[in-house]
Amino acid sequence: MSVQARAKLNLTLDVLGRRPDGYHELCMVMQSVQLCDVLEIAPGEGRVSSNLGYLPTGEKNLAWAAARRFWEALGRPQPPLDIHIEKRIPVCAGMAGGSSDAAAVLRELNRREGDPFTLEQLMKIGGQVGSDVPYCVLGGTALARGRGEVLTALPPLPRCHVVLCKPDFSISTPELFARADAVKLRRRPDTAGVLAALEAGDLEGTARRMYNIFEDVLPPRQAARVTEIKHTLIECGALGAAMSGTGPTAFGLFAGEEQARLAWAQLAETYQDVWLTETV
Ligand code: C5P
């Protein structure tokens, strides 16, 4: 039986400061989209495989780490399960692809074992695998604080179309956090405004306020590429556009499918990695 692992977007991302444990205090509004990886978990030899040859197959794969943590928390020896991941979420893109695979493994193992853990317990186990995993266990629209693991479910973002575009450079997450520590941030997201807009069911008000501080932390040439993508999205009718996570994927929210398709087509002329999806 296959399991879906959905991608996430950051409607907002703010870094509030550096913590004594080396992590950063975050405040983020997260949103799931329909774009997903598909996992098959079956008895085997305890291996991870995927349609992408270069993904780690052992301990370094978050799906594998999640399985290990699950059996550890349950206090039972880990049975030899094979996990195959059909990757559709872009890799190293700021969309929590790996974390979402880990969350899907936790949810599925919990289901198969007859729900020994509550959702909160499962999210806590997820936190041992990675900072974005607890949110991926929860899904939907949520406010994430702390390392990313202090979660509050929010009123759902009104359903809309999403165009995603990943420029062809990659960014190291620790490096970007270090850059954020070193620069004075010129702009912060209006998180309170986004929360109020979500409360009011106001898609346009939410989209207009989306912002991620890392957009301004990227090296100038890379920041310019993200800005260029955001401009194209807005020109094609996006209600708002932002970068997701530590990037480099930028996305736009659209009320109408026609405008979203236009934006997709326009970006696909220049970029290889462009997707059209919807919020969940
Ligand atoms: O928890 P995770 O392994 O996903 O984090 C990857 C890296 O991102 C950390 O090693 C750290 O450099 C950075 N990070 C951070 N503060 C957070 C989450 C991640 O500094 N809240």
DSSP string, 67-81: HHHHHHHHTSPPP-E
Atom nearest to 174 CA in ligand 1: 12
Tell me, rounded to whole angstroms, the distance of Cα 148 from its chain centroid: 11
**Per-residue pLDDT tens for 14-35?**
999 999 999 999 999 999 999 9
Atom nearest to 246 CA in ligand 1: 8
- Span from the CA of 174 to the centroid of ligand 1 (angstroms): 7
Q: Residue range 121-148: average pLDDT? A: 98
Q: Residue range 234-243: average pLDDT? A: 98
Residue 59 pLDDT: 83
Q: Residue range 101-130: average pLDDT? A: 98
Query: Best substitution site from 10, 15, 23 to test ligand 1's pocket, by max atoms within 8 Å of Cβ?
Result: 23
Q: Give me the chain's average pLDDT, please.
A: 97
Query: Best substitution site from 13, 15, 24, 149 to test ligand 1's pocket, by max atoms within 8 Å of Cβ?
Result: 24
HSE (side-chain half, CA atoms, 13 Å) at 189 = 31
- Span from the CA of 144 to the centroid of ligand 1 (angstroms): 14
**Per-residue pLDDT tens for 159-217?**
999 999 999 998 899 999 999 999 999 999 999 999 999 999 999 999 999 999 999 99
Handedness of CA 178, 183, 189, 192 (dihedral sign): positive
Ligand 1 site residues (CB inside 6 A) read 23-24, 26, 130-132, 147-148, 173-174, 177
Ligand 1 atom 20 nearest Cα: 23
Q: Which of 14, 37, 101, 132 is catalytic?
A: 132
Q: Which of 8, 14, 37, 166 is catalytic?
A: 8
Residue 77 pLDDT: 95
Q: Is 132 a catalytic residue?
A: yes
Long-range contacts of the stretch 109-115 (C-beta < 8 A, 24+): 109/41, 109/67, 109/70, 109/71, 110/70, 113/74
The CA distance from 134 to 122, in Å, is: 8
Using the predicted structure, report yes or no on whether residue 53 has a pLDDT greater than 90: no
Which of 45-49, 189-193, 256-260 is predicted with the least confidence, judged by mean pLDDT?
A: 45-49
The CA distance from 243 to 224, in Å, is: 12
Q: Residue range 64-90: average pLDDT? A: 97
Q: Which two tokens stand for residue 110?
A: 């919990």
Q: Which two tokens stand for residue 232?
A: 């194209």
Q: Which two tokens stand for residue 53?
A: 């040859």
Residue 58 pLDDT: 84
Q: Is 230 a catalytic residue?
A: no
Atom nearest to 173 CA in ligand 1: 8
Using the predicted structure, report yes or no on whether residue 1 has a pLDDT greater than 90: no
Confidence of residue 140 (pLDDT cuts 50, 70, 90): very high
- Span from the CA of 254 to the centroid of ligand 1 (angstroms): 30
* pTM, full prediction: 0.96
Continuous segment of H or E residues that includes residue 99: helix 97-112
- Span from the CA of 110 to the centroid of ligand 1 (angstroms): 26
The CA distance from 108 to 61, in Å, is: 17
Q: Residue range 252-258: average pLDDT? A: 97
